[in-house]
Amino acid sequence: MQKPILLSGVAPSGVMHIGNYLGAISQWVAMQETHSVSVMIADLHAITVPQEPAALRENTLRMARLLIACGINPEQSILFVQSHVPAHAELAWILNTMTPLGELERMTQFKDKRDRQSDTYAGLFNYPVLMAADILLYQTDAVPVGEDQKQHIELARSLAKRFNNRFGETFKIPEGIILKDTGRIMGLDDPIKKMSKSAASANNYIALLDEPDEIRRKIKIAVTDSGADVAYDEEQKPAISNLLRIFSAFSGSPVADIENRYRGKTYSTFKDDLAECVIEKLTPLRARYRELSADKESVLAILRAGAARARASAEKTLRTAQEKIGFL
Ligand code: AQP
């Protein structure tokens, strides 16, 4: 029987942080057993804000290495670069012609990112339509993402339904998969906002490639709440609750067990142990990344093979959509 199809993606920025990892990438890795997984390095999305060409090229390769180091297995799953599959841009154009402006104007990510740019371009506004194309091209069943992508998945679903209603069954309606505990990891320096690589300070996040001393330092200075108890309470103790969720995700212990372990102990003891737990999990990943950095050719070969496999299924769906709308 054919496995359900999973597609998700990550922008090739220079940094992948533990929010990206716990909210999204670790899900993709785990679901390789049960799903047919495609992971896209979203360079078309990256250029919706200005990029320096050499850095974009390097970051795309770096992201491929990072994903493999995280456990995406290129022999089992499809790992590809979005711009290597032209069907993404072609379907996005078609979907743009049936997306009401009002739906894009409501997107909170757009408003957020626009406010951080000196100039805003149409690509940033249309980003969610491209994301809908990414998903619908592969007849995707499951899209595991962080909570920040929820609105975009809703748009992909409504565009698929709109197209199907107007032109007949063409696209599968995808389901977003958002983890309750790790779908929104908050910033270490501001537990009210999500952890984000474009935060003003690098103390906001732990990058997967941060060295152990850097991880210790960032966790030591992470914001805590008033009071002294290591207790889960999202309202009263957002900072400690966030650290508890990170600890739980990396250690595999339920939050309640960790609360019990640190009852009567200080924030500082809790933070020291959390840092060691994160370091233990990330050390093998960093080592694997370094190994892959020595061999650029084999990573390029993986991306070439991934693009060829992705193109085959994407083009099939694109042709069907083109025929349905009456292209000659
Ligand atoms: N803080 C987060 N908690 C849980 N999941 C998160 N994701 C992002 N931040 C968190 C999820 O990671 C996947 C890949 O993200 P992306 O590369 O597309 O970038 P992003 O969402 O734009 O991540 P950043 O770090 O927040 O970047 P900036 O600062 O540029 O906005 C996605 O599934 C995302 O939901």
Which residue's CA is the nearest one to ligand 1's atom 23? 196
Ligand 1 geometric centre to CA of 1 (Å): 33
Is the CB of 144 within 6 Å of ligand 1?
Answer: no
Is the CB of 153 within 6 Å of ligand 1?
Answer: no
| Phi, psi torsion values for 40, nearest 5 degrees | -110, 135
How high is the pLDDT of residue 117? 82
Query: How far is 241 from 236, CA to CA, in rounded Å?
Result: 9
pLDDT digits (tens, 9 = 90+) for 30-69: 999 999 999 999 999 999 999 999 999 999 999 999 999 9
Q: Inform me whether the pLDDT recorded for 88 exceeds 90.
A: yes
Q: Inform me whether the pLDDT recorded for 13 exceeds 90.
A: no
Mean pLDDT within 19-28: 97
Q: Which of 150, 172, 197, 324 is catalytic?
A: 197
- Residue of 196, 201, 243, 245 with the most ligand 1 atoms within 8 Å of its CB, for mutation: 196
Q: Inform me whether the pLDDT recorded for 118 exceeds 90.
A: no
Ligand 1 geometric centre to CA of 48 (Å): 15
Evaluate whether 103 touches 155 at the Cβ level (below 8 Å): yes
Q: Please list, in sequence order, all residues whose beta carbon lies within 8 angstroms of the beta carbon of residue 36, skipping any fewer than 6 positions away.
A: 2, 3, 4, 5, 6, 77
Evaluate whether 310 touches 232 at the Cβ level (below 8 Å): no
281 is catalytic: no
How many helices and strands in the chain, by DSSP H and E?
Answer: 14, 5
Is the CB of 185 within 6 Å of ligand 1?
Answer: yes
218 is catalytic: no
